[in-house]
Amino acid sequence: MKKKNADDMTFKEKIIILKRCVKFINSADRGRILRDILSLLPDIISTFSGIFLASLVIDGVVNAKPAEELIFSAVIICGINLIVSLMRNIINAKYNRHNFLYNENTKRKITEKILNIDYVKAEDTETLNSAQAARNYLDGNNVSISAVIGDIKWMFEGVITVITGIILIAPAVFSKSESTDGFMGFICSPWGALAVFLIIIPIILFRSKFIDSEASKIVGKVFGDKELLQADRTQGYFRNYALSNYRSGKDVRIYDESSLVLGKYNESSKIYHRKWTKCCWKIILKNGENILTTFLINILLYGFTVARAVSGAMTVGEIVGFVMYFNQINQGITNISDHFSQMLIAAPFCKKVFDFLEIPDEKYKGTLPTEKRDDNEYEFEFSHVYFKYPGTENYVLKDINLKWKIGEKMALVGRNGCGKSTLVKLLCRLYDPTSGTITLNGIDIKKYKYEDYMALFSVVFQDSKIFSFSMAENVAADTEYDSEQITDCVIRAGLGERLKTMENGIETIMYKDFDENGVEISGGEMQKLCLARAVYKGAPFIVLDEPTAALDPVSEYDIYTKFNGIVGTRTAIYISHRLSSCRFCDEITVMNNGEIVERGSHETLLAKDGYYTNLWNAQAEYYKKIIPDMKM
């Protein structure tokens, strides 16, 4: 079925989206729209009081009124402006405080969605583009939810301005002229004023509908362009990872990658330039049409004013006031029409924010609590599990049948790319099987509460990361923690000596992103810190998914054997392509091309003289040279 684009939305659908925008805004900052509208009052009062004073003073001077009367009028107007200025300061101060709250709350909604979205979707390009679109249409352009706030604000400003302007212009409209016959008599009558209004207002509405709104559509289409969204993500990637992340600086310099990085960055910049240049030329044409309609409105307005002035229907002050009041009414009508049209244009783009926030969690989160067992008697089983990644046709795992209990130490070995890490992702429910089942104590793991189930696992991935927080926060994955336990875990993970060199101990900040006193740690130390995090969590099930792949075999073997003692009675799965690191395990599962080809202890597998033996022999001579005291 053809996907519905923004222009296909009906008027009713757009109004529904705009109502949702209002609810979204109020949920982020209750009373935000009302405060925005109130913030307009000081400027409206100041503008109209200034016009009124100008008209009054001009008539006073022309009619030779006493200076005291004019000064008194000026003092009153100045007093009004003083009060208005105080109002403006109070309103703006409150507005600025709440504006910060609004921005934080709305951005938090996007951030929380990104952090909690199904992992399978977090890797999807469409989802990433959708997230970028949500950020774009949340704030920062004329088709965003924040722009809708402004549109509502200026529509109300238009309504208040029009009503106030009509009230203040009415005396001049209904004033009598010296000549009441013929065309001049009609022009100087209220009917003449009404006729001019009936001519000018359709021109204003035409300008809003077919010129200003079309210009906004042009801009909106550029913001919604998929190629531009991709370019925006590309530039963000290079700004955040290649340029702002100082840890990439070494590679950039050693391999002279500056031309590569700048080349990629410039490619996305060219897309920006091409898209926006084309947009700007279209806007220039629309602005030309806008100028012509404004010129026509001014001819009608000033011609009408001159005619009434010549006929003696208005005083000099009233002439000035009439022109200025009419300009305000004109601007008010324009604001109402322009910003209502603008909101209708923005509605489909604002919908993209809600579309992202409402991306459904396809992963069934379950309702059953995981059983809290003192004896830690948990049994996992894979039954005829097949899996292929979304959008692909080839199966990464094929007919996996596997069972183990808590307390067992199992190694998962095989060549790179054979499906070892994928199996762990399924076990941890980062993905669900394409077919087949995975059970815990005989119950499909999909039926367990997702958060409860995830609490069973501590996993150290090959690409596990730590953040530029304190060591303690990284280990605890929280801002609240047991300092003694943190220290114990860090020492047990092999970072005891490194910890002694840190002046602030476990409170030491990792890296220098936010703290000049932050500590740089090596890749091996980072992995040990990830091991400490896995131990601290205290989960009954621990998985080491080649976290030491970047280390030499001696260091890997040392870490694995020490960690085996740390695990204790908990189940541990050790994933590695280095077979010698996992000899101590109770059972070794050998994978090849997405299938389990052998299972058994090290000695049993060697005796079979099969696939494992071939892998072992291929590595044996190398390991004997680097670990001579190790029994092969």
Q: How do residues 530-540 score in pLDDT, each as one tens digit?
A: 888 988 888 88
Residue corresponding to tokens 């979205």: 117
Q: Which residues of 522-560 are buried (b: 16+ CB within 10 A; e: fewer)?
A: eebbbbbbbbbbbbbbebbbbbbbbbbeebebeebbbbb
Greater confidence (2 vs 456) lies with 456
Run of H or E including 379: strand 379-387
What number is the average pLDDT over the span 63-83? Answer: 76
Q: What is the DSSP string of 84-141?
A: HHHHHHHHHHHHHHHHHHHHHHHHHHHHHHHHHS-HHHHT-HHHHHHHHHHHHHHSSS
- 100 close to 319: Cβ distance less than 8 angstroms: no
Q: What does the alpha-carbon distance between residue 301 and residue 603 come to, in Å, rounded to a whole number?
A: 100
* Among 357, 377, 393, residue at a domain's last position: 357
Strand partners, 381: 403, 439
Q: Which of 515, 550, 139 is nearest to 349 (CA)?
A: 139
**Positive or negative, the Cα torsion across 357, 23, 345, 138?**
negative
Query: Could you give the 3-state DSSP secondary structure of residue 400?
Result: strand
User: Which long-range contacts (C-beta less than 8 Å, at least 24 apart) are formed by 401-406?
Assistant: 401/596, 402/589, 402/596, 403/379, 404/379, 404/380, 404/571, 404/587, 405/377, 405/378, 405/379, 405/380, 405/571, 406/376, 406/377, 406/378, 406/379, 406/540, 406/541, 406/569, 406/570, 406/571
- Torsion angle of the four alpha carbons 436, 437, 438, 442, in this order, in degrees rounded to the nearest 10: -140
Q: What does the alpha-carbon distance between residue 632 and residue 629 come to, in Å, rounded to a whole number?
A: 9
Q: What does the alpha-carbon distance between residue 298 and residue 327 come to, in Å, rounded to a whole number?
A: 9
Residue 418: inside a domain: no
Both structure tokens of 11: 């008027």
Residue corresponding to tokens 């926030």: 357
Residue 363: inside a domain: no
Query: Tens digit of pLDDT for each residue in 491-550?
Result: 888 888 889 998 889 999 888 877 788 888 887 788 888 888 988 888 888 888 876 665
Residue 303: inside a domain: yes
Residue 317: inside a domain: yes
* pLDDT for residue 581 is more than 90: no
pLDDT of 472 reads 92
Query: Tens digit of pLDDT for each residue in 586-623?
Result: 888 999 999 999 998 888 888 888 898 888 887 766 55
Q: CATH no. for residue 104?
A: 1.20.1560.10
Both structure tokens of 278: 């084309």
pLDDT of 2 reads 44
pLDDT of 382 reads 93
Categorize the per-residue pLDDT at 554 as very low, low, confident or very high, splitting at 50, 70 and 90: low
pLDDT of 596 reads 92
**Which residue blocks in 403-465 are alpha helix, DSSP H?**
420-427, 450-454
Categorize the per-residue pLDDT at 630 as very low, low, confident or very high, splitting at 50, 70 and 90: very low
The total number of residues written for the chain in this structure: 632
pLDDT of 551 reads 62
Categorize the per-residue pLDDT at 436 as very low, low, confident or very high, splitting at 50, 70 and 90: very high
* Among 357, 378, 413, residue at a domain's last position: 357
Residue 623: inside a domain: no
Q: Work out the mean pLDDT of the chain and round it to a whole number.
A: 78
pLDDT of 222 reads 62
* pLDDT for residue 213 is more than 70: no
Cβ contacts of residue 528 below 8 Å, gap of 6+?
Answer: 493, 494, 495, 559
- How far is residue 328 from each of residues 131, 195, 303, 451, 589, measured CA to CA in Å? 41, 18, 17, 59, 80
Domain residue limits at 221: 6-357
**DSSP collapsed to 3 states, 308-336:** HHHCCCCCHHHHHHHHHHHHHHHHHHHHH
pLDDT of 1 reads 41
Q: Are residues 160 and 285 part of one domain?
A: yes
**DSSP collapsed to 3 states, 250-306:** HHHHHCCCHHHHHHHHHHHHHHHHHHHHHHHHHHHHHHHHHHHHHHHHHHHHHHHHH
Strand partners, 405: 379
Residue 309: inside a domain: yes
pLDDT of 404 reads 79
pLDDT of 594 reads 92
Query: Could you give the 3-state DSSP secondary structure of residue 436?
Result: strand
* pLDDT for residue 4 is more than 70: no
pLDDT of 20 reads 93
Q: Are residues 128 and 243 part of one domain?
A: yes
Q: CATH no. for residue 468?
A: 3.40.50.300
- How far is residue 147 from each of residues 118, 176, 350, measured CA to CA in Å? 30, 45, 10
pLDDT of 246 reads 55
CA 496 to chain centre: 39
Q: What does the alpha-carbon distance between residue 224 and residue 236 come to, in Å, rounded to a whole number?
A: 17
Categorize the per-residue pLDDT at 486 as very low, low, confident or very high, splitting at 50, 70 and 90: very high
Residue 104: inside a domain: yes
Q: What does the alpha-carbon distance between residue 535 and residue 77 come to, in Å, rounded to a whole number?
A: 73
**The whole model's pTM is what?**
0.66
What number is the average pLDDT over the span 562-572? Answer: 74
Query: Tens digit of pLDDT for each residue in 156-167?
Result: 988 998 888 888
Residue type, 260: L
Both structure tokens of 244: 């702002």
pLDDT of 260 reads 66
* pLDDT for residue 296 is more than 50: yes
Report the domain count for the chain.
Answer: 2
Q: What does the alpha-carbon distance between residue 424 and residue 413 come to, in Å, rounded to a whole number?
A: 12
Residue 144: inside a domain: yes
pLDDT of 492 reads 85
- Of the listed ranges 66-75, 108-117, 432-441, 444-453, the least confidently predicted one is 66-75
Q: What does the alpha-carbon distance between residue 346 and residue 359 come to, in Å, rounded to a whole number?
A: 20
Q: Are residues 345 and 480 part of one domain?
A: no
Q: What does the alpha-carbon distance between residue 255 and residue 319 come to, in Å, rounded to a whole number?
A: 74
* Among 329, 357, 385, residue at a domain's last position: 357
Share of the chain above pLDDT 90, in %: 10
* pLDDT for residue 397 is more than 70: yes
What number is the average pLDDT over the span 464-484? Answer: 88
* Parallel, antiparallel or unpaired: strands 457-460 and 541-545: parallel
Select the highest-mean-pLDDT range: 107-111, 241-245, 248-252.
107-111
pLDDT of 242 reads 59
